[in-house]
Structure 1
Amino acid sequence: MDSKFIIAICIIILYAIILLIVGILSYIYSVKHKPFKVINDEYLKEIAEYKKVEDEILKKIKPIKTKFELSENESIYFVDELEVSFNEIVNKNNKKKEFDDEYDQYIKKLKKNYSLFKIKEKQSDLEKTLIYVSNKRIVLDNGAEFKIIKFNNVILVENYIWNFNGKYLKTIYLKTKNEEMYFVSNDLKLKSIISKFRLENE
């Protein structure tokens, strides 16, 4: 048999094998990520609709009376009890880590949702936490301790579909210089209020 003919057959067989592998991987990818895509697409539509009325909603927010001790010219604008996950950001030398590009890690997190192979990420448990958002700061009370976050320490706040132990949760993702938090909430107003006062405190 002609050697050129044998080479041609080998190339065709190799090409067919590659097509088969690509087809199988594409099928696995589509099946694996269909649940996330459905939920994420619905969430993006929900956010798009909310954006149409966001300015009007923010204009209508009023101070909330609480027994919480406030500083001068401070008012509370959001109070709720939510499930929150706290995750400390550390580098390999166990030092606090800061990011030059505030969106870099957020984009990496989004990409993990579309990864073909499962990436196991360390996840902290969800804690029932009272959240107070004022025009000066965010105060978190989990019953054991208070955590105060000044707006000038907030690097990023975004709406985010979070894969928590196989469950896709609607969350507000908030990152500071040394910690990231997931607030499990369907209330899109929370992110708007935090973003508003973050800008005002820059």
Structure 2
Amino acid sequence: MPPRNSQKVITVPEIGNVLLSKRAGTARLRISVSPRRGVVVSLPRMLPYSVAEEFLLSKRQWVMDALHRQALRQRKTAGEGRTAAVPDNPSDLRRMREEARAVLAPRLLEMAGAYGIPFRGRIAVKNNVSNWGSCSSKGNINLNMRLILLPEHLRDYVLLHELCHIRHQDHGPAFHAMLDSMLHGQEQALRKELTSWQII
């Protein structure tokens, strides 16, 4: 006779780790998704784990959608708490990176054109915790994917900051004068506001 309660962890592509849980009193197969426990498939203790795995795969899209909704809620909460965090789930991380590329790259090009900055470099959207953005000596700009979690005015501040490095590679007086002029005298206020956000 199988034990009353038993568990098994499996790894599913695009979902991650999933807990298969046999518990006394469970009458049917059921999938739950929560921030605390992750994805859990509960099954009657007399059923083999293979049945639970097949059931999970049949509900794969539902699980991925549920994880995505959960990540969006966590991102909203993180934004309200002035932290910018990326989701742990690989599928949600990929979606967030794609969203960031779709938003940040066109906006950077739009702002370069609006301010007459001759940007001809490459744009890369990265997942890092060291900075919001950077501009190389060759004029290539790296942007942190977490920028899409910021309020739009702070996001634009970072983009303009990096665009100003196309003309001024350092943070000298000429750089700050250019940036402050573009921001209508609000550079210091925006820089201070940005420091209240933590990259995690």
The question of a shared fold, defined as TM-score above 0.5 by the shorter chain, is answered with no
TM-score, normalised by the number of residues in structure 1: 0.22
Higher helix share: 2
TM-score, normalised by the number of residues in structure 2: 0.23
Q: Which has the higher contact order (CA 8 A, sep 6+)?
A: 1
Higher strand share: 1
